[in-house]
């Protein structure tokens, strides 16, 4: 795939510091026209900081950036866009209250005599969305009404609305389901065939192997390897360049679960119009139940309804024999439910508050039960959890805002490790989490189960569902279409079920 592309972008010795953190400590990077250049590195290695330097959001302290042969400093993202560098950020930066079309053309609206040509803008947006395979997204809809995957597409449409020569994507697949990742790859191939360069960041090695040409590895803000072949470099080498050690990227063996498995959660006939229909399921103490399904299949909505963040139209949720009042998070938390939601920024984190606060503040009742008498205790407890999840930096006094994306995710999950959660609802728990920390997280989930906590888990990554769960539920278009023990299913079967529903409802294998 690697063409004889010219070097379009070259970074030499780039340094960027934040108070107390040397995020980039001498980075080298070279990107060629028409290639997919992958950036690999652990959570906090500096990947997002690097692309923010490239896109004009951060100024480097020192070092040089050469773009198309010229040294450049972009003073803001618009300047970078004008020069032909478009970026899709890890934390999407759309204006929620504007429409899809307004977001796509924000800052470069087609105008005549100073007036925005709305109709042209909408038409061009429709065209770009169609090219992205998502013609169904209405250009006039407010962005806040879209699901995460839809927002991602809008963000891509915005990048394509510029005549970009370099497209930077920071974990674009993190919010996408399996078939949408294939769609994304199709788009990337079209772009690179036109000579556009792509910088692609992902923690999923199999994606990098599928779409990537060359790999640059960052560790602690430095380039530890460059010009590696994406397809041929052995996984063990990639991982050891990232981490400085070797990690078994496998699912840890299950610690023996308690033999006595009392039923903990019973969901019966739960429905919400337009989201999911007649869902019944159970989770026993110490059991891990995984839900596989596409984005938009109703999985997240189901979890949120069980948690009481949404109110069911019909059906009941029972925890340890007691019915939960519908639409009441407080009651759910008091009954021992904990939830790590999908959209950590909007739903879960107080970004300006320190890490330990975010971990302990889940509810006051819980903290009271933990009996924190002092901030000191609170910090010590958070410290313990931070260590068990390999949080970096591990100083729990830092504001969450300054953490890298993957480390923020660890905080969201970490808060439920503190108290006496009986049932944990996890929506895409390893999204954006690097391979090393992912193994830690799996271990933590297993440990909780071994202690008798029930876990209901949603993941777009089928191997993760199969590797972690005792029992797998397959969800499609708002209905549970299959239940089986994880051992009875393989990845292809689950994918078939999820995508095409190739087996009839309820048909045993």
Chain residues that interact with ligand ATP, rule: CB under 6 A: 18, 21, 23, 41, 43-49, 90, 393, 402-407, 432, 434
Helix and strand counts by DSSP (H, E) for the chain: 18, 22
Contact map string, positions 55 to 94, toward Mg ion, x by CB under 5 A: -----------------------------------x----
Q: Which is nearer to ligand ATP, 43 or 459 (CB)?
A: 43
Listed ranges 77-85, 398-406, 419-427, 446-454: which one lies at the site for Mg ion (CB under 5 A)? 398-406
Q: For residues 196 and 295, what is the distance between their CA atoms, to the nearest angstrom?
A: 29
Q: Which is nearer to Mg ion, 124 or 203 (CB)?
A: 203
CB of 326 to Mg ion, least distance (A): 37
CB of 48 to ligand ATP, least distance (A): 3
CB of 316 to ligand ATP, least distance (A): 39
CB of 285 to ligand ATP, least distance (A): 33
Q: Which does 84 bind (CB under 5 to 8 A by kind): ligand ATP, Mg ion, none?
A: none
Q: For residues 449 and 440, what is the distance between their CA atoms, to the nearest angstrom?
A: 14
Burial environment of residue 226 by CB neighbours within 10 A (0 to 12, 13 to 18, 19 or more): middle
Q: For residues 244 and 221, what is the distance between their CA atoms, to the nearest angstrom?
A: 13
Q: For residues 291 and 297, what is the distance between their CA atoms, to the nearest angstrom?
A: 10
Q: For residues 374 and 377, what is the distance between their CA atoms, to the nearest angstrom?
A: 5
CB of 39 to ligand ATP, least distance (A): 8
> Does 161 participate in binding Mg ion (rule CB under 5 A)?
no
Tell me if residue 402 falls in helix, strand or coil: helix
CB of 161 to Mg ion, least distance (A): 24
Q: Which is nearer to Mg ion, 362 or 430 (CB)?
A: 430
Residue 27 bridge partners (DSSP) = 14
Residue nearest to Mg ion (CB): 48
Q: Which is nearer to ligand ATP, 7 or 21 (CB)?
A: 21
N-terminal to C-terminal alpha carbon distance within the chain: 40
Q: For residues 250 and 394, what is the distance between their CA atoms, to the nearest angstrom?
A: 25
With contacts defined by CB under 5 A, how many residues of the chain interact with Mg ion? 5
CB of 201 to ligand ATP, least distance (A): 7
Contact 214, 203 (CB under 8 A): no
Q: Please state whether beta strands 36-40 and 214-219 pair in parallel, antiparallel, or not at all (unpaired).
A: parallel
Q: For residues 67 and 134, what is the distance between their CA atoms, to the nearest angstrom?
A: 32
Q: Which is nearer to ligand ATP, 221 or 341 (CB)?
A: 221
Q: Which does 49 bind (CB under 5 to 8 A by kind): ligand ATP, Mg ion, none?
A: ligand ATP
Tell me if residue 52 falls in helix, strand or coil: helix
Q: Which is nearer to ligand ATP, 433 or 453 (CB)?
A: 433
Contact 49, 58 (CB under 8 A): yes
Q: Which is nearer to ligand ATP, 279 or 433 (CB)?
A: 433
Q: Which is nearer to Mg ion, 99 or 404 (CB)?
A: 404
CB of 45 to ligand ATP, least distance (A): 4
CB of 391 to ligand ATP, least distance (A): 10
Q: Which does 293 bind (CB under 5 to 8 A by kind): Mg ion, ligand ATP, none?
A: none
Helix (H), strand (E) at residue 269: strand 263-272
Q: Which is nearer to Mg ion, 18 or 364 (CB)?
A: 18
Q: What is the 3-state secondary structure (H, E, C) of 291-347?
A: EECCCCCCHHHHHHHHHCCCCCCEEEEEECCEECCCCCHHHHHHCCEEEECCCHHHH
Q: Which does 41 bind (CB under 5 to 8 A by kind): ligand ATP, Mg ion, none?
A: ligand ATP
- List the structure tokens of 456: 């209901």
The single residue among 48, 152, 155, 161 that binds Mg ion, judged by CB under 5 A, is: 48
CB of 45 to Mg ion, least distance (A): 8
Q: For residues 199 and 423, what is the distance between their CA atoms, to the nearest angstrom?
A: 40
Q: Is cis: bond before 393, omega within 30 of 0?
A: yes
Q: Which does 364 bind (CB under 5 to 8 A by kind): ligand ATP, Mg ion, none?
A: none
> Does 46 participate in binding Mg ion (rule CB under 5 A)?
no
> Does 172 participate in binding Mg ion (rule CB under 5 A)?
no
Q: Which does 44 bind (CB under 5 to 8 A by kind): Mg ion, ligand ATP, none?
A: ligand ATP
Cα dist. 220→16, 43, 223 in Å?
A: 12, 9, 9
The single residue among 77, 405, 419, 429 that binds Mg ion, judged by CB under 5 A, is: 405
Torsion sign over Cα 395, 400, 404, 406: positive
Residues 6+ apart with CB under 8 A from 500: none
Q: Which is nearer to Mg ion, 86 or 497 (CB)?
A: 86
Residues 6+ apart with CB under 8 A from 412: 340, 341, 344, 348, 349
Listed ranges 127-135, 279-287, 290-298, 401-409: which one lies at the site for Mg ion (CB under 5 A)? 401-409
Q: Which is nearer to ligand ATP, 327 or 393 (CB)?
A: 393
Residues forming the site for Mg ion (CB under 5 A): 47-48, 90, 404-405
């Amino acid at each position: 795939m690697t063409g004889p592309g010219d070097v379009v972008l070259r970074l030499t010795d780039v340094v960027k510091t934040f108070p107390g953190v040397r995020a980039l400590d001498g980075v080298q990077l070279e990107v060629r026209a028409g290639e997919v250049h992958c950036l690999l590195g652990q959570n906090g290695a500096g990947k997002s900081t690097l692309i923010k330097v490239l896109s004009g959001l951060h100024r480097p302290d020192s070092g040089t950036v050469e773009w198309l042969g010229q040294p450049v400093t972009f003073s803001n993202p618009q300047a970078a866009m004008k020069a032909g560098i478009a970026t899709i950020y890890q934390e999407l930066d759309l204006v929620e209250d504007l429409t899809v079309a307004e977001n796509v053309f924000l800052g470069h609206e087609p105008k005549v005599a100073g007036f925005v040509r709305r109709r042209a803008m909408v038409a061009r947006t429709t065209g770009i969305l169609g090219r992205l395979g998502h013609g169904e997204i209405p250009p006039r809809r407010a962005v806040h009404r879209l699901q995460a995957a839809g927002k991602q597409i809008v963000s891509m449409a915005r990048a394509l609305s510029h005549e970009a020569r370099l497209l930077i994507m920071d974990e674009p697949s993190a919010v996408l389901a399996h078939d949408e990742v294939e769609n994304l790859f199709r788009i990337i191939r079209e772009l690179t065939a036109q000579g556009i360069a792509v910088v692609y960041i992902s923690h999923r090695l199999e994606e990098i192997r599928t779409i990537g040409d060359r790999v640059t590895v960052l560790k602690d803000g430095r380039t530890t390897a460059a010009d590696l072949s994406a397809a041929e470099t052995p996984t063990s080498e990639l991982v050891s360049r990232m981490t400085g050690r070797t990690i078994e990227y496998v699912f840890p063996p299950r610690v023996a679960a308690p033999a006595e498995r009392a039923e903990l959660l019973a969901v019966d006939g739960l429905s919400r119009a337009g989201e999911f229909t007649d869902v019944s399921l159970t989770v026993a103490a110490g059991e891990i139940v995984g839900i596989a399904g596409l984005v938009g299949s109703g999985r997240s909505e189901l979890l949120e309804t069980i948690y009481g963040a949404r109110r069911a139209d019909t059906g009941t949720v029972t925890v340890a024999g007691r019915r939960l009042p519908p639409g009441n998070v407080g009651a759910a938390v008091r009954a021992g439910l904990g939830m790590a939601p999908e959209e950590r920024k909007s739903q879960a984190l107080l970004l300006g508050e320190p890490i330990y606060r975010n971990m302990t503040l889940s509810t006051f009742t819980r903290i009271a039960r933990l009996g924190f008498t002092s901030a000191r205790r609170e910090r010590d407890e958070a410290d313990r959890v931070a260590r068990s999840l390999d949080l970096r930096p591990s100083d729990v006094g830092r504001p969450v805002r300054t953490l890298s994306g993957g480390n923020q995710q660890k905080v969201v999950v970490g808060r439920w490790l503190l108290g006496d959660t009986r049932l944990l609802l996890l929506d895409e728990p390893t999204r954006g989490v690097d391979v090393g920390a992912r193994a830690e997280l799996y271990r933590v989930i297993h440990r909780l189960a071994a202690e008798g906590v029930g876990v209901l888990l949603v993941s777009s990554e089928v191997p993760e569902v199969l590797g972690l769960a005792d029992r797998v539920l397959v969800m499609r278009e708002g209905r549970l279409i299959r239940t089986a023990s994880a051992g009875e299913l393989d990845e292809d079967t689950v994918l078939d079920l999820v995508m095409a529903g190739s087996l009839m409802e309820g048909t045993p294998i």
